[in-house]
Structures are given as structure tokens and as C-alpha cells.
Structure 1
Amino acid sequence: MSTGVWLCALAGAACMGAAIRERTVVSRLRRNGTRTEGTVVRVLVDSAEGTQTPVIRFTDAGGHLIEFTPSASGIGLGLAAGTTVPVVYPLGNSHEARVFTARHRVLPSLLSAFVGAIFLGVAVVIALTD
């Protein structure tokens, strides 16, 4: 088998692993996470890359004011300044907070799985044509 098959298979497996990990984290947060609401206090704009990243502020269970940017951002995941959003974080670790909208729960793992499937499909095509 060629190097291309192995590289595509490895990339596909890595993407699938990332999708599984993301779903596992979301499931654990759904069951055991501390839920609260946060407010988008500003949106950071990177005009060079054309990205917009919201900054979300919330108060954790201990009364500490926390600000974070979501790890997932992009088309379909944008949040306008002033918007109130659901936030969840692992018990006792408010610095690991995540936006908990349906889009933010589903799209990152779905996108990773889709890209992984494409890589695995390309690996199969390369293997069959060699």
C-alpha cells in the first residue's frame, strides 16, 4: 500500500477520534456539568483571517466572574454582542466552560466525523486504484 493510503487513513482515524472525544465530553457535561447563563460582552474580529470570536462572561457557582471564548467558532456558530447564552462547565472547573447551544454541542463533532469519513473514503479509493 502506498504512503497516501496510510496518511489518509491516519488523518481519517484522527478526525474520527476527535469526533468521538467531543461527543464524550458533551455527554459528560450534559449529565454532570454545572449550568448557568452567560452574556456575549464583545466580539473579537480578526479582519486578516475574517473570523469573529465572541467573548462570553458569566459568574460561576463560587461567585467568580469568568470570561472565555468558545473553542468552536465559525459559520453557523456566531453569537452577537449582548446575547444571553447557556453555559456549562465541569463541576469545580469553571475555566473549562463551553457554550451549550444545540449548534455548539453538535456541529464540532459532526464536522470532525464528516472530515474523517472523507479522509477514510479517499484512503479506500487510493487503495483500490493502486
Structure 2
Amino acid sequence: MSDPLAPERMAATHAAAFSQSRPWSAAEIAALLDSPLIFAAGDERCFALVRVIADEAELLTIATDPAHQRQGLARICMAGCEAAARERGAAEMFLEVAEDNAAAQALYRACGFAECGRRAGYYRRAGAKAADALLMRKALR
């Protein structure tokens, strides 16, 4: 049986989910997963990559294949990565999300994240104005 979290499968899901921005390649994902500080949660339908350093976790990305959206997979994946981050000693988790990504913001708020900052013009958009990044935080303990 093939690994459902193989970098190639993750890259295909990321490309399907991030059609408006540059998706991450299998090589980029594999390089991240080579770090003992980074782990993946989920499966080929929906996965997350998280980095834990000391007592802080950072959601690097979460991607749901469009064919599997609106099925609760992202919430399940978020719960799984939060539990795994806690097991690795994280007391809080951070993430950033584009200010114009209402669906992702709704997911994160439903999972208990709250806005804690902003990075102006962080997300560059081809042919459009750059979007701010909203920084969000959640206590894990």
C-alpha cells in the first residue's frame, strides 16, 4: 500500500487546493518533512504540515482537495495536528491566513483560533492588490 502522506500525493492535493497561488512542490514538501521539527497530519484528501519549536506550534499549510471539501475533513485534520503538537510539547499554535480567505478564517475561528496580529501586503497576487495576512493564535493547554 502506498503512503497516503507521500510528498507527491501531498503536492497534488496542495496544487488542487491552491489554484490561485503557487502550490508547494513534492520536493519542497519532502524537504520540510526531513526536519524533525515538522510533521504531517491527515491523508491525501486533506493534510496539514505543522512545525513545533519549543512550546510553539505553527500551522505551515493545510490543504483539502476540492473534491473533498465541505465534508469536515479540515476540522478533523486540525484536531489531529493540534493533538500531535500538544504531544510534542506545544502550548499554543499560530497560523497566518489571507484576509480575503473567508472560508479558511471561518474554519480557524470554529477551531478556536483568534486574530492576534496582521502583516500588511503579505500575500502577493498576480494582477491584484496584495492581501494582508491575519495572524491567529490558539492556546493548546
- TM-score tier, shorter chain, comes to under 0.3
Where is the helix percentage greater, Structure 1 or Structure 2?
1
Q: Normalization by structure 1: what TM-score?
A: 0.22
Where is the strand percentage greater, Structure 1 or Structure 2?
2
